[in-house]
Amino acid sequence: MKGGPLAERVRAEVADDVRELGQIGLATVQVGEDPASTIYIRRKHEAAHEAGMRSVDRKLAEDVSQEELVGAVAELNQDDGIDGILVQLPIPRGLDEAEAVAAIDPLKDVDGVHPFNAGQLYLGRPTHVPATPLGIMAMLAEHEVPLDGARAVVIGRSDIVGKPVAHLLLQAHATVTICHSHTDDLSRQTLDADVLVVAAGVPGIVTADMVKAGAAVVDVGINRTEDGLVGDVDPAVADVAAFLTPVPGGVGPLTIAMLLQNTVRAARFRRRLLAFPGIRG
């Protein structure tokens, strides 16, 4: 299951939406200069420009104070030309990540990390949903992987991948199991999976003997090793699984495409073309 062709299609649709809606703005906030974060942010800006969006790259020093960080987010909240705001995570230790995320206007929260949006997803009324889980679901839909009644196993319970994708799978009527670092026998769970989503950040954590024949396996992991960029799933799993996403070139391209789609969604919320529930009345 390659992500590139679907990502290209989504990005073309986003470009059409931008033409229809007029100017759309995406802002990123980066604290410090973590090289991986810098690469991710550059790719997001390149993709935004290509889709015709305006983008703002707010870079803050590693030693920025909590007040300055929250202040930078507040300024972007007020900026009428900005539809979507993303605080690149993780932020350096010593800063309060939860407070920084909660400072984002929920309408502009294109990463779906604000407690309001996370709660909406939990309640089955998604507003803004993190981009990677949306990309995973789009990939499964594209390949017509049945979810209703299927057994889905997610390895990883982060707020940005594991938990939200588990909720989306649940809402698609899969029976969902979430595994994490305290799960005692991982293969006991994975061997039961019709759909296996692996987001642990551990190279090769899933091997061919852990996968049911004919399963759909989504490898979310991005690990920098001496052998280059590798996923969490041993490539030999392709011999057993019906579908396997490659790394690189699987979920990664879709994540960026879905971030752009979320930014269009934010623009629609802000222009009242889509109703944003609850807190905005």
**Least distance (Å) between residue 62 CB and ligand NAP:** 21
Does 133 engage in binding with ligand NAP (CB under 6 A)?
no
Annotation says 111 is catalytic: yes
Query: Is 158 an interacting residue with respect to ligand NAP (CB under 6 A)?
Result: yes
Catalytic residue, chosen from 17, 30, 83, 88, is 88
Across the chain, the runs of DSSP E, i.e. the strands, are 25-31, 54-60, 84-87, 151-155, 175-179, 195-198, 216-219, 223-225, 228-230, 243-244
Other CB atoms within 10 Å distance of the CB of residue 280: 13
Cβ atoms of 112 and 137 closer than 8 Å: no
Instruction: Looking at residues 159 to 178 of the shown chain, list those that interact with ligand NAP (rule: CB under 6 A).
Output: 160-162
User: 128-162 burial, b for 16+ CB within 10 Å, e for fewer?
Assistant: bbbbbbbbbbbbbeeeebebeebbbbbbbbbbbbb
The site map against ligand NAP for 93-122 (x = CB under 6 A) is ------------------------------
For the bound state, the minimum distance from the C-beta of residue 205 to ligand NAP, rounded and expressed in Å, comes to 6
Contact residue for ligand NAP among 73, 104, 200, 244 (CB under 6 A): 200
258 binds ligand NAP (CB under 6 A): no
Identified binder of ligand NAP from the candidate list 28, 30, 120, 255, rule CB under 6 A? 255
Q: Site for ligand NAP (CB under 6 A): how many residues? A: 26
The set of catalytic residues is 44, 88, 111
